[in-house]
């Protein structure tokens, strides 16, 4: 990926091609390919618990990347990402049930529908910025949540909507093992697409809009177009993530897509690193594993004799909730640039060892 | 080198521990328990979860499932769907779970497809009407839920029971003309769940159904809504919300001075809420699926014993949500006993066991749990609802039973 942060001295690039690679070095490329190949074997190596966590990482990661394109790369803000995620989930189920379109096709279509909705709610972005925009997108969250609860024809209202599993040529992807491959494929495609987007003209325009919108406009970048496009792409990603979520669970209820979810997406990209694609994935992995690790901590406690009394277990449950908040605060204080930045520092340390500067 | 050896031995010990843990699960079955003790529904979730947890512990102390030990784990998922799914997958793939005690709409609905595929019965406290249609016979049912059970009447049926009571009450009071009925609640799946079904039945019973009044799920100032209730002259109002929002509504309407008979859903009324709401609680009507802690019924003795699991002093007064948790767990326990005698404790057999008995009351809980009648086509376990009335009474909260309403088992109401 073309790095947008400061580059260490001595790291020269002499051609545009070098400046534009998806993977910084051949080693990284090989490692990535090897990692994906290894992941392909995962259903034979690990149990459904880890698979379900990976599937969660996949659909949340895709949606979070969308938000990072909007917030981290274009410098806009959205507090309605959770609702867009939900819209994608319902849209895919709705397309499948009402029109009988195969699920595999419904997922990208749901992405495009969500894109349209996202662009509609992104319209204020051409006029307002910062906190004002945040509040305008907050409206999207509430309007869509209300819409899910009311629109019986679309979301099934309070009864929710059922979503069929993905099937290709009669093979039904309804187990964790099989859906894992769908999740993996979607994750890889969407992330490569995200990397590619960022090294294209449009991607550079996004960054220009973020860094200095006035200069960008002077250089001939249409601000409205790119702000709106960024909202569209961001919602597209959210829609794809949501659709995967729907067809994984097999059932969508209007209950889950709250403001809390939107905030959680923001937390993921802030922890991972704004304006970093690999950072997004790191943030998502972190946010998915954190409650599980804390939960297993509580579980270990329960195994001991003195720990397995309701008072201790309940107390730990509260501590667990607080710990999540605490970790986020610590991250913001000690690593405001996110995990991606910390990763780069660790890498540099070893690269230049023992002569780091 | 030495360090390396130490690492290797510790690794071996850990793996040995892991395997030994699996072998010791010979004569035991695993039951997962999802609870919300720190999330948005915690204020009732905690009570219900305590009921389930104490029951599980009590069952284990008293012989388990006819000698089979009950292993269980309570996970506080804080009403977050991803964590509920992860917990479920962990239990299913690692612990060989045979049944699960769930909690609310969020986890129950997210798991419908998984539990149906894994053939794993779930006993939850999500009383959505659509969970009662295991075959998907009713066109309203979006997704058949063959492995979902709950103890008690669905939200729709409870509301129907209240409407039935209201119709009698109106006649008793000698009211003239059509009484007006209003649904009050947030535009959210949970308050909306019984809206349509209840309005339909209210119309049938001769009510004049008013447009629904929307109040937020969060506590706030609802005087405007109370004024509109006042101006529309509603006689009976069904409260679909729960917790703080109900308190705010009662207080606001008390200030405004509305003359309306409130009837809440099952989560909207218990002694703790009345204590907190204070003055406004006057003849507040709410449904329950069990008698109250202080009621003199034979089965309450067992409930008090179970309560001692987490409260050895026996002083704590449990709310009716707790008792419902006990009933839910004991129906599961007896189903597991039946399954053990009929081919072993597996999810499929437990499901069959749910259909094996008619007018079924768990042993020792007579008078506490209402008789259950589940069938393969119809998961409306109980079709009776206690109607209670609460009064604040200047700090001395009094809850009294008004009647035990029986709701028809109409085919059209299955899953709706």
Split at pLDDT 50, 70, 90, the class of B18 is: very low
Mutant choice from A52, A183, A292 vs B, greatest count of B C-beta within 10 A: A52
- Whether the link from the prior residue into A354 is cis, omega within 30° of 0, is yes
| Contact at CB, A47 and B75, closer than 8 angstroms | no
Whether residue A76 has pLDDT greater than 60: yes
**Apex B365 CA angle, B163 and B376, nearest 5:** 65
β-strands A171-173, B69-76 pairing: unpaired
Given an 8 Å threshold on Cβ–Cβ distance, is A310 in contact with B50? yes
Q: Which residue has the tokens 């066109």?
A: B139
Q: Does A254 touch chain B (CB under 8 A)?
A: yes
B296 and B318 Cβ atoms separated by less than 8 Å: no
**pLDDT tens by residue, B343-390:** 999 999 999 999 999 999 999 999 999 999 999 999 999 999 999 999
> What is chain A's Cα-based Rg?
21
- Mean pLDDT, rounded, of chain B: 88
Residue B180 pLDDT greater than 90, yes or no: yes
Quick one: average pLDDT of A49-78? 95
Residue B65 is given by DSSP the state B
Q: SS in 3 state form for A170-191?
A: CEEECCHHHHHHHHHHHHHHHH
User: Which residues in chain B are closer than 8 Å to A293, comparing Cβ atoms?
Assistant: none
User: Which of A119-128, A131-140, B7-16, B84-93 shows the lowest mean pLDDT across its residues?
Assistant: B7-16
Residue ranges of A 274-313 with Cβ closer than 8 A to chain B: 288, 291-292, 295, 299, 302, 310, 313
User: Beta partners for B236?
Assistant: B181, B261
* Average pLDDT for chain A: 88
Whole-number Å distance between alpha carbons of B22 and B26: 8
How far apart, in whole angstroms, are the C-alpha atoms of residue B102 and residue B97? 13
Residues 6+ apart with CB under 8 A from A108: A240
Q: Nearest 5 degrees, angle CA A251-CA A253-CA A256?
A: 120
pLDDT of residue A28: 86
Compare all CA atoms of chain A with the CA of B78 and give the residue at the minimum distance: A321
Instruction: Tell which A residues from 67 to 96 touch B, by Cβ distance under 8 Å.
Output: none
**pLDDT reported for residue B22:** 43
| Identity of the residue in B38, B73, B130 whose CB atom sits nearest the CB atom of A321 | B38
- Report whether A279 contacts A345 (CB < 8 A): no
Q: What is the mean pLDDT of residues A306-320?
A: 69
pLDDT for res B7: 53
Q: Is the pLDDT of residue B167 over 60?
A: yes
User: Which residues are paired to B387 by β-bridges?
Assistant: B287, B403
Q: How confident is the model at residue A129 (pLDDT cuts 50, 70, 90)?
A: confident
What residues does each domain of chain A span? Answer: 36-351
Q: Of B44, B215, B58, which is closest to residue B126 (Cα–Cα)?
A: B44
Residue with tokens 């209240």: B162
- Please state, for a pLDDT cut of 70, what percent of chain B lies above it: 94
| Closest Cα in chain A, distance from residue B295 (Å) | 27
A310/B310 CB distance under 8 A: yes
- CA A85 to chain B, closest CA, distance in angstroms equals 14
Report the residue of chain B nearest A52, measured CA to CA.
B86
- The pLDDT score that the predictor gives to residue A138 is 93
Q: Give ipTM to 2 decimals.
A: 0.82
**Do the chains contact at A158 and B106, CB–CB below 8 Å?**
no
Q: Residues near A322 by Cβ (< 8 Å), separated by ≥ 6?
A: none
pLDDT at A256: 81
Task: Give the mean model confidence (pLDDT) for residues A31-50.
Answer: 92
Disruptive mutation site among B50, B114, B308 for chain A (greatest number of A CBs within 10 Å): B114
Q: At what angle do helices A201-211 and A176-198 cross, to 10 degrees?
A: 70
Q: Which two tokens stand for residue B260?
A: 């309306």
Mark yes or no for CB contact B85/A56 under 8 Å: yes
- Mean pLDDT within B393-415: 89
- What are the Cα distances from residue A292, in Å, to A77, A271, B48, B76? 29, 17, 23, 11
* CATH topology assigned to domain B1-153+296-382: Rossmann fold (3.40.50)
Nearest chain A residue to B42 by CA: give it. Answer: A318
pLDDT, position A313 = 67
B63-122 residue pLDDT tens: 899 999 999 988 888 888 888 999 999 999 888 899 999 998 889 988 998 999 999 999
Tokens of B50: 């305590």
State the Cα–Cα distance between residues A5 and A37, nearest whole angstrom. 29
Domain boundaries, chain B: 1-153+296-382, 155-288+383-413
Residue B219 sits at φ, ψ, to 5 deg, of -60, 150
On chain B, the residues whose CB falls within 8 A of the CB of A319 are none
Does the distance separating the beta carbons of A159 and B141 come in below 8 Å?
A: yes
Give B-chain residues touching A255 at CB under 8 angstroms: 105-106, 109, 188-190
Which residues on chain B are in Cβ contact (under 8 Å) with A310?
Answer: 50, 53, 310
Nearest to B110 among A249, A295, A321 (CB): A249
Under an 8 A CB cutoff, do B189 and A314 touch?
Answer: no
Q: How many helices and strands in chain B, by DSSP H and E? A: 13, 12
pLDDT at position B78 is 85
pLDDT tens, position by position, A145-175: 999 988 889 988 877 888 889 988 888 888 8
Tokens of A332: 């913001």
Q: Which two tokens stand for residue A258?
A: 């709250």
Find where tokens 């799914």 sit: B85
Summarize the confidence of residues A39-63 as an average pLDDT: 94
Cβ atoms within 10 Å of A60's Cβ, excluding its own: 25
> Which tokens belong to A41?
């074997």
B15 pLDDT tier (thresholds 50, 70, 90):
very low
In this model, does residue B20 exceed pLDDT 70? no
Task: Examine the pLDDT at B3 and tell me if it is beyond 70.
Answer: no
Superfamily of domain covering B155-288+383-413: Response regulator (3.40.50.2300)
DSSP category for residue A70: I
Q: Which residues from chain A sit within 8 angstroms of residue B188, using beta carbons?
A: 149, 158, 254-255
- By C-alpha distance, which of B131, B204, B160, B154 is closest to B405? B160
B112 contacts in chain A (CB < 8 Å)? 250-251
For the four alpha carbons of B154, B331, B103 and B140, in that order, the dihedral sign comes to negative
Helix pair B42-61, B300-307: axis angle to 10 deg: 100
Which residues does chain B have within 8 Å of residue A56's beta carbon, measured at their own beta carbons? 82, 85-86
Matching residue, tokens 């989930």 = A89
Lookup result for tokens 């009716």: B320
Interface probe, candidates A180, A251, A289, A293, chain B, greatest B C-beta count within 10 A: A251
Strand partners, B68: B65
| Confidence bin at A73 (pLDDT 50/70/90) | very high
Q: What is the pTM of this model?
A: 0.86
Task: Mention every residue, 6+ apart, whose C-beta is less than 8 A from residue B76.
Answer: A314, A317, A320, B35, B36, B37, B38, B39, B49
Query: Strand, helix or coil at B406?
Result: strand
* Among candidates A52, A156, A249 on the partner chain, residue whose Cβ is nearest the Cβ of B86: A52
Interface of B with A (CB under 8 A): 37-38, 50, 53, 73-76, 78, 80-83, 85-87, 89-90, 92-94, 105-106, 109-110, 112-114, 117, 128, 130, 140-143, 187-190, 192-193, 195, 310
Taking only the tens place, the pLDDT of each residue in A87-126 is 999 999 999 999 999 999 999 999 999 999 999 999 988 8
- d(CA B334, CA A69) in angstroms, rounded, equals 54
Mean pLDDT of A32-56: 93
Give whole-number Cα distances, B234 to A228, B134, B230, B237, in Å.
47, 37, 7, 7
Q: Which fold has domain A36-351?
A: ABC transporter involved in vitamin B12 uptake, BtuC (1.10.3470)
Element at B184 (helix H, strand E): strand B180-184
Contacts of A229 (CB under 8 A, 6+ apart): A202
Residue B387 main-chain phi, psi, to 5 deg = -105, 125
Does A253 contact B92 at a Cβ distance shorter than 8 Å? no
| Domains B1-153+296-382 and B155-288+383-413 alike in fold | yes
Contact B92 A48 (CB under 8 A): yes
Tell me what pLDDT residue A8 has: 63
Window A:137-166, CB contacts with B under 8 Å: 146, 149-150, 156-162
């Amino acid at each position: 990926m073309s790095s947008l942060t400061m580059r260490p001295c001595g790291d020269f690039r002499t051609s545009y091609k070098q400046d534009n690679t998806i993977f910084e070095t051949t080693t990284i490329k090989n490692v990535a390919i090897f990692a994906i190949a290894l992941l392909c074997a995962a259903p034979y190596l690990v149990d459904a618990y880890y698979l379900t966590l990976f599937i969660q990482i996949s659909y949340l990661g895709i949606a979070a990347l969308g938000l990072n394109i909007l917030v981290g790369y274009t410098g806009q803000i959205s507090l309605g990402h959770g609702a867009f995620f939900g819209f994608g989930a319902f849209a895919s189920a709705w397309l499948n049930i009402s029109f009988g379109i195969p699920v595999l096709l419904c997922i990208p279509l749901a992405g495009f529908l969500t894109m349209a909705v996202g662009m509609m709610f992104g319209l204020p972005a051409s006029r307002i910025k910062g906190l004002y925009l945040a509040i305008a997108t907050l409206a999207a969250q509430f309007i869509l949540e209300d819409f899910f609860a009311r629109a019986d024809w679309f979301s099934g209202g309070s009864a929710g909507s059922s979503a069929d599993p993905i099937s290709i040529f009669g093979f039904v992807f309804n187990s964790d093992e099989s859906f894992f491959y769908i999740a993996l494929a979607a994750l890889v495609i969407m992330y490569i697409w995200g990397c590619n987007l960022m090294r294209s003209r449009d991607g550079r325009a996004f960054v220009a809009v973020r860094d200095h919108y006035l200069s960008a406009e002077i250089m001939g970048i249409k601000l409205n177009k790119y702000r709106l496009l960024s909202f569209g792409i961001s919602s597209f990603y959210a829609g794809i993530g949501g659709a995967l979520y729907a067809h994984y669970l097999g059932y969508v209820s209007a209950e889950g897509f709250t403001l809390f979810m939107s905030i959680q997406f923001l937390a993921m990209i802030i922890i991972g690193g704004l304006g970093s694609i690999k950072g997004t994935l790191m943030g998502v992995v972190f946010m998915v594993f954190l409650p599980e690790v804390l939960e297993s901590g509580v579980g270990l406690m329960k195994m001991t004799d003195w720990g397995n009394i309701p008072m201790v277990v309940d107390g730990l449950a509260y501590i667990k909730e607080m710990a999540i908040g605490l970790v986020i605060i610590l991250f913001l204080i000690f690593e405001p640039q996110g995990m991606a930045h910390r990763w780069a520092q660790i890498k540099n340390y070893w690269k230049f060892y023992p002569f780091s500067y | 080198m030495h360090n390396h050896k130490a690492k290797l031995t510790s690794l071996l010990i850990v793996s040995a521990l892991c395997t030994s843990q699996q072998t010791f699960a010979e004569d035991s079955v695993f039951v997962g328990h999802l609870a919300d003790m720190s999330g948005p529904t915690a204020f009732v979730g905690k009570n219900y979860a305590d009921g389930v947890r104490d029951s599980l512990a009590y069952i284990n102390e008293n012989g388990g499932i006819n000698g089979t030990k009950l292993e269980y784990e309570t996970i506080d998922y804080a009403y977050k769907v991803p964590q509920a799914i992860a917990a479920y997958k962990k239990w299913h793939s690692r612990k060989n779970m045979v049944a699960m005690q769930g909690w609310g709409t969020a986890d129950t609905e997210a798991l419908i497809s998984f539990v149906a595929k894994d053939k794993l019965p779930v006993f939850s406290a999500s009383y959505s009407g659509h969970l009662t249609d295991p075959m998907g016979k009713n066109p309203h049912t979006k997704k058949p839920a063959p492995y979902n059970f709950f103890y008690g009447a669905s939200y729709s049926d409870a509301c129907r029971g209240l409407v039935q009571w209201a119709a009698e009450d109106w006649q008793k009071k000698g009211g003239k003309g059509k009484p007006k009925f209003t649904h009050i609640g947030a535009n959210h799946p949970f308050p909306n769940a019984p809206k349509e079904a209840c309005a339909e039945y209210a119309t049938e019973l001769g009510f004049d159904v008013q447009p629904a009044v929307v109040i937020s799920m969060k506590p706030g100032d609802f005087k405007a809504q109370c004024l509109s209730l006042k101006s529309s002259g509603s006689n009976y109002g069904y409260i679909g919300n729960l917790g703080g929002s109900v308190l705010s509504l009662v207080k606001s309407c008390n200030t405004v001075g509305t003359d309306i008979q409130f009837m809440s859903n099952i989560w909207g009324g218990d002694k703790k809420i009345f204590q907190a709401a204070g003055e406004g609680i006057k003849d507040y009507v709410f449904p329950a699926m069990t008698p109250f802690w202080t009621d003199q019924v034979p089965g309450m003795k067992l409930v008090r014993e179970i309560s001692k699991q987490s409260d050895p002093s026996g002083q704590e007064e449990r709310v009716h949500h707790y008792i419902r948790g006990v009933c839910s767990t004991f129906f599961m326990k007896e189903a597991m006993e039946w399954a053990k005698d009929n081919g072993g404790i597996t999810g499929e057999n437990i499901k069959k066991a749910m259909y094996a008995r008619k007018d079924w009351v768990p042993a020792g809980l007579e008078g506490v749990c209402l008789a259950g009648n589940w069938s393969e086509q119809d998961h409306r376990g109980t079709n009776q609802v206690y109607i209670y009335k609460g009064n604040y009474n200047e700090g001395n909260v009094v809850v009294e039973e008004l009647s035990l309403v029986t709701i028809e088992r109409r085919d059209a109401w299955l899953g709706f």
